[in-house]
Amino acid sequence: MAYQKGSPIHPKRYPSSTDVARFAGVSQSAVSRTFKPGASVSKETRQKILAAAKELGYRPSLIPRIMLTHRSYLVAIVVGGMYNPFYSTILEQFLVSLQDAGKQALLVHVNSGHTLEPIVPKLASYRVDAIVSALSILSPRSADHLAQLKIPVVSFNTPIVNAWVSSVCCDNFGAGRTIANLFIARGARRFGYIAGPEASPSNTDRFAGYSSVIAEAGLGEIKIRVGDFRYDGGHQATLEMFRRPNPPEALFCANDLSAVGAIDALHKLGLRVPNDVLVCGFDGIPATSWDAYELTTFRQDGQRMVEETLKIIERRSAAEAASTGVSVVVPPEFIERATTGGSVRA
């Protein structure tokens, strides 16, 4: 029996297409065709259905389409380490790009600033088309667990790929070599490094490139303290390093937050940057261009990294089965400013 407008209907949080069909006095298939782009339905029937839908507050559910096509157009974005402005920038770029591509983001938080692994078991419960993260996959076992989901996964700065797991990386090793060569060219002979977490692949690669050039030049040991990618960590690590005899003349920090903390610590100790100590960071966060810092840095090309990630997702989603994991390396932009004697403001 068809419902009459204004007649009582059993209250539901989400009215169904069947409710709309009864209210409008049409078939349920007519309702489905009305909300399916390109489907055939008469103008009169469409108007009746749209009026009924408005009256009931009906919105088509995505669940039937998901079940039929096995595609939800949802992409899980795993976030962590949001204390770092770089991750905030990347997240915004992902959200905008996904929406432009007709997809929606599902945000999943992990209590880590550098690794995706703690969230792997939870991801299995989500029916998403892909998983992306600026965090890393650190072990083949975790990569294998992700592959068992049979969902394309793209992780930033991870050393591991397999049939379902791909990587988009910044050229961390090359950046480390670039700054070491600049430090040497500017006359530095004693070197320091404010490290990120030991388990972070990007930290490992940045130090590997940096130390390789210094070793090739025969310039001796690098003083190392861990700053954990944080302002407070960089500040404390620098105080400890420079209160010891023969402190560095050049300091490479694993990211910009720790470099900003290092600069404030050096000022506290009465040291001048760059006259007494050359300093460089990594990421290219906005604070690096502030007058108080004018920090030399490597700006990660976040927009291109997002674009490369979405290309991988589209290629993998279009394929019937997984092929070989993809690894893309994106070079950073080197920006020299006052902390290494440069004058470029970008």
pLDDT in tens, 30-41: 877 777 766 788
Tell which residue, 210, 284, 211, 222, has the closest CA to residue 249: 222
pLDDT score at 344:
46
**Alpha carbons 322 and 316: distance in angstroms, whole number:** 7
**Alpha carbons 42 and 37: distance in angstroms, whole number:** 14
Please name the residue that has the structure tokens 């502030």.
Answer: 290
Residues 81 and 156 in one domain: yes
Q: Tell me if 110 is assigned to some domain.
A: yes
Strand order of the β-sheet with 222-226 is 222-226, 191-195, 250-253, 278-280
Assigned token pair, 268: 């506290």
Average pLDDT of the residues in 121-149: 72
**Alpha carbons 316 and 57: distance in angstroms, whole number:** 37
pLDDT score at 193:
98
pLDDT score at 69:
47
Query: DSSP secondary structure string, 186-240?
Result: TT--SEEEEE--TT-HHHHHHHHHHHHHHHHTT--PEEEEE-TTSHHHHHHHHHH
Q: Is the pLDDT of residue 18 over 70?
A: yes
**Alpha carbons 15 and 30: distance in angstroms, whole number:** 16
Q: Is the pLDDT of residue 2 over 80?
A: no
CB 9 within 8 A of CB 56: yes
Q: Tell me if 11 is assigned to some domain.
A: no
Residues 202 and 95 in one domain: no
Assigned token pair, 252: 């490479």
Give 231's Cβ-side CA count (13 Å radius).
Answer: 8
Residues 93 and 147 in one domain: yes
Residue 321 neighbours by CB distance under 10 Å? 8
Residues 179 and 279 in one domain: yes
Name the phi and psi angles at 326, rounded to 5: -110, 140
**Alpha carbons 138 and 342: distance in angstroms, whole number:** 36
Residue 3 neighbours by CB distance under 10 Å? 18
pLDDT grade, residue 314 (50/70/90)?
Answer: confident
User: Inter-axis angle of helices 302-318 and 85-100, to 10 degrees?
Assistant: 40
Three-class secondary structure of residue 44 per DSSP: helix
CB 105 within 8 A of CB 79: no
Assigned token pair, 160: 């591991």
Residues above pLDDT 90, as percent of the chain? 41
- Taking only the tens place, the pLDDT of each residue in 318-328 is 655 556 678 89
Assigned token pair, 96: 């905008």
Residues 52 and 85 in one domain: no
pLDDT score at 31:
79
Q: Tell me if 345 is assigned to some domain.
A: no
Residues 294 and 205 in one domain: yes
Q: Is the pLDDT of residue 345 over 70?
A: no
Average pLDDT of the residues in 151-174: 86
Longest dimension (CA), the chain: 91
Please indicate whether residue 76 or residue 319 has the higher confidence score (pLDDT): 76
Number of domains the chain is built from: 3
pLDDT grade, residue 118 (50/70/90)?
Answer: low
Please name the residue that has the structure tokens 């419960």.
Answer: 125
pLDDT grade, residue 1 (50/70/90)?
Answer: very low
Residues 195 and 166 in one domain: no
Q: Is the pLDDT of residue 24 over 90?
A: no
Residues 176 and 296 in one domain: yes
pLDDT grade, residue 7 (50/70/90)?
Answer: very low
**Alpha carbons 182 and 188: distance in angstroms, whole number:** 9
Average pLDDT of the residues in 307-324: 73
Q: Tell me if 346 is assigned to some domain.
A: no
pLDDT score at 192:
98
Q: CA triplet 99, 71, 98: central angle to 5 degrees?
A: 15
- Taking only the tens place, the pLDDT of each residue in 82-109 is 778 888 888 888 888 888 887 888 887 7
Please indicate whether residue 335 or residue 75 has the higher confidence score (pLDDT): 335
Query: For all residues of the chain together, what is the average pLDDT?
Result: 83
pLDDT grade, residue 3 (50/70/90)?
Answer: very low
Q: Tell me if 5 is assigned to some domain.
A: no
Average pLDDT of the residues in 234-262: 97
Please indicate whether residue 250 or residue 58 has the higher confidence score (pLDDT): 250
pLDDT grade, residue 340 (50/70/90)?
Answer: very high
Domain end among 8, 37, 61: 61
Domain containing residue 88? 70-171+301-332
Please name the residues in contact with 6: beta carbons below 8 A apart, sequence gap of 6 or more: none
- Taking only the tens place, the pLDDT of each residue in 186-236 is 999 999 999 998 888 899 999 999 999 999 999 989 999 999 999 999 999
pLDDT score at 54:
82
| Most trustworthy range by pLDDT among 68-72, 95-99, 118-122, 169-173 | 169-173
| Amino acid residing at 119 | I
CB 261 within 8 A of CB 318: no
The alpha carbon of residue 33 and the mean position of all alpha carbons in its chain are separated, in whole angstroms, by: 38
Q: In terms of C-beta density within 10 A (0-12 exposed, 13-18 middle, 19 or more buried), how is residue 328 classed?
A: middle
Q: Tell me if 10 is assigned to some domain.
A: no
CATH at residue 165: 3.40.50.2300
pLDDT score at 175:
97
Residues 294 and 307 in one domain: no
pLDDT score at 231:
96
Q: Tell me if 267 is assigned to some domain.
A: yes
Please name the residue that has the structure tokens 């390789």.
Answer: 212
> The whole model's pTM is what?
0.77
Q: CA triplet 264, 190, 209: central angle to 5 degrees?
A: 90
